[in-house]
Amino acid sequence: MDPRPVGIFDSGVGGLSVLRALRQLAPHERLVYFADTAFFPYGPRPAAEVRKRAFAVVHRLLASDVKLVVVACNTASAAAIADLREAFPVPFVGMVPGLKPAVGSSPNRHVAILATEGTLDGELYSRVVDDFGRGTLIDNIPGPGLAELVEHGSCGTDAARAAVRRALAPAVSAGADTVVLGCTHYAFLAPDIRAEFPGVAIVDTGEAVARRALQVLAENGLEAPSHSAGELDLIVSGDRDRFRETMRRLGFASDLTGATP
């Protein structure tokens, strides 16, 4: 049993989609969420720069005595997960677009991968394509501007609907029947995608990543005692009030209690 918190980070609000799943599955785990909004977006930045940020963020999380780090960001995982594992003495759980489940469930064997440039250009993703993509038509879609829409709290607006339409219409008209949300920000656009493309299946790996984190805690004897309170601490590198406002808009109002001022 280990009462120390779990660290989670992303460039902004995206990783909250993983945090939400983690809180549902293990409400007694204490969490420290680091939103690196001063460096948002990670997607278009060179991998070396994202790696540098990932190291800085993990150093800060370790100063909060975290027992495990969830890299709740596909872009940061692509740029840094192997190096982080080598450099730090805590276990890491990273993310990669859910191509494997999508391929397994796509009737047309035609899937659209919505992820940032950094993720799509990364070695981690190419390995997943090599391992699981054979025999499947894969449309890699960088979705420019989508993460920004979410970060500004604009999910569910006409602008969000138009942006997902623009990004996905060519692939869907060409027969893609499954969309993989390969960026944690995009999880918050799922209702807009569903509204625009009702026949298309959506693959979001947020819950699977949360389950994996719990499995790693269990394997290492790091689970929190079940009577723990499970508070949430927030660290925001940019504008904290703005971040809290977006959190509220995304439905995280109750999670704000107990956050570090």
Per CB under 6 A, the list member of 106, 119, 178, 237 interacting with ligand DGL is 119
Piece in contact with ligand DGL (CB under 6 A), picked from 40-48, 80-88, 216-224, 250-258: 40-48
Per CB under 6 A, the list member of 41, 142, 143, 153 interacting with ligand DGL is 41
List the strands of the sheet with 178-181, edge to edge. 137-141, 110-114, 178-181, 201-203
* Contact between 33 and ligand DGL per CB under 6 A: no
Element containing residue 170 per DSSP (H, E): helix 158-173
- Residue 223 to residue 203: CA distance in whole angstroms: 28
CA angle 66/68/71 to nearest 5° reads 110
Per CB under 6 A, the list member of 9, 42, 197, 252 interacting with ligand DGL is 42
Piece in contact with ligand DGL (CB under 6 A), picked from 23-31, 68-76, 102-110, 234-242: 68-76
Tokens of 229: 């309170």
Q: Rule CB under 6 A: which of 139-158 touch ligand DGL?
A: 147
- Residue 140 to residue 171: CA distance in whole angstroms: 9
Instruction: Say what the alpha-carbon torsion angle 200, 189, 99, 90 is, to the nearest 10 degrees.
Output: -160
Tokens of 163: 């942006």
How many amino acids of this chain bind ligand DGL (CB under 6 A)?
16
Nearer to ligand DGL, 50 or 90 (CB): 50
- Residue 175 to residue 109: CA distance in whole angstroms: 9
- What Rg do the C-alpha atoms of the chain give, in angstroms? 18
- Within 8 A by CB and 6+ apart from 159, the residues are 149
Nearer to ligand DGL, 8 or 147 (CB): 147
Per CB under 6 A, the list member of 9, 33, 34, 40 interacting with ligand DGL is 40
Nearer to ligand DGL, 16 or 222 (CB): 16
Shortest distance, position 74 Cβ to ligand DGL, whole Å: 4
Q: Which residues are tagged catalytic?
A: 73, 183
Piece in contact with ligand DGL (CB under 6 A), picked from 123-131, 136-144, 155-163, 182-190: 182-190
Q: How many CB atoms lie within 10 A of CB 4?
A: 16
Length of the chain as a residue count: 261
Piece in contact with ligand DGL (CB under 6 A), picked from 36-44, 58-66, 191-199, 210-218: 36-44
Per CB under 6 A, the list member of 75, 106, 140, 237 interacting with ligand DGL is 75
Q: Which residues lie near ligand DGL (CB under 6 A)?
A: 10-11, 14, 40-43, 73-75, 116, 119, 147, 183-185
